[in-house]
Amino acid sequence: MKSAPVLDACCGGRMMWFDKNDHRTVFADCREGVMVIDHLASQTGRSPKECRPDVLHDFRKMDFPDEHFHHVVFDPPHVRNLSMKSVFGFSYGSLNKETWREDLKAGFSECFRVLKPNGTLIFKWCQVDIPLKDVLALTPERPLYGHRSGKKANTHWVAFIKECAEVCQ
């Protein structure tokens, strides 16, 4: 397994990354594949959509040791019950309509488990389907700060730091 100080727990197409192959990062996702979408007029001339993680995993139960990463990026799917055969579903993934709360709660727990003490977690959420406050209520961790962005300011970037159980030096 690739060793690096950063984990992208739900990398998808690595759309937010300046360097989509950054050697400092383990890119992980539960899906892998390529979607050619040249049949849509809006996609004419565009490259196929790709999801090529370094590690195939379920963000709810990651196969990494405790306190392994200095920095974790958690950008899970934001919408419930999308078809993975749709461009949007393939690009961003989909949450289960029935279990999304338990899934995101487990995802937060896993992200903090693999994060080193004093490590940082950046959480990205687009509240087109589920409000940010409902999602943040799923973790006992306190956010440091956040920023709204996007066309309608629906995307939120939230920073966390993993506090030490004892006084950190």
What CATH number corresponds to the domain at position 71? Answer: 3.40.50.150
Whole-angstrom distance, CA of residue 108 vs CA of residue 51: 22
In a domain, residue 166? The reply is no
Average pLDDT over residues 114-129: 95
Contact (Cβ atoms closer than 8 angstroms) between residue 70 and residue 119? yes
In a domain, residue 79? The reply is yes
User: Residue 166: is its pLDDT beyond 60?
Assistant: yes
Residue 85 sits in which domain range?
6-161
In a domain, residue 47? The reply is yes
In a domain, residue 101? The reply is yes
Task: State the pLDDT confidence band at 159, using cuts at 50, 70 and 90.
Answer: very high
pLDDT at residue 100, as a whole number: 94
Q: What's the number of CA atoms in the CB half-sphere (13 Å) around residue 150?
A: 14
pLDDT at residue 69, as a whole number: 98
In a domain, residue 70? The reply is yes
pTM: 0.84
CA geometry: angle 33, 11, 125, nearest 5 deg: 125
Q: How many H-runs (helices) and E-runs (strands) does the chain carry?
A: 3, 9
Q: What is the number of structural domains in the chain?
A: 1
In a domain, residue 169? The reply is no
In a domain, residue 55? The reply is yes
In a domain, residue 1? The reply is no
pLDDT at residue 142, as a whole number: 95
pLDDT at residue 128, as a whole number: 85
Comparing CA positions, the residue from 118, 123, 125, 122 lying closest to residue 161 is 118
pLDDT in tens, 56-102: 999 999 999 999 999 999 999 987 676 666 665 566 667 888 999 99
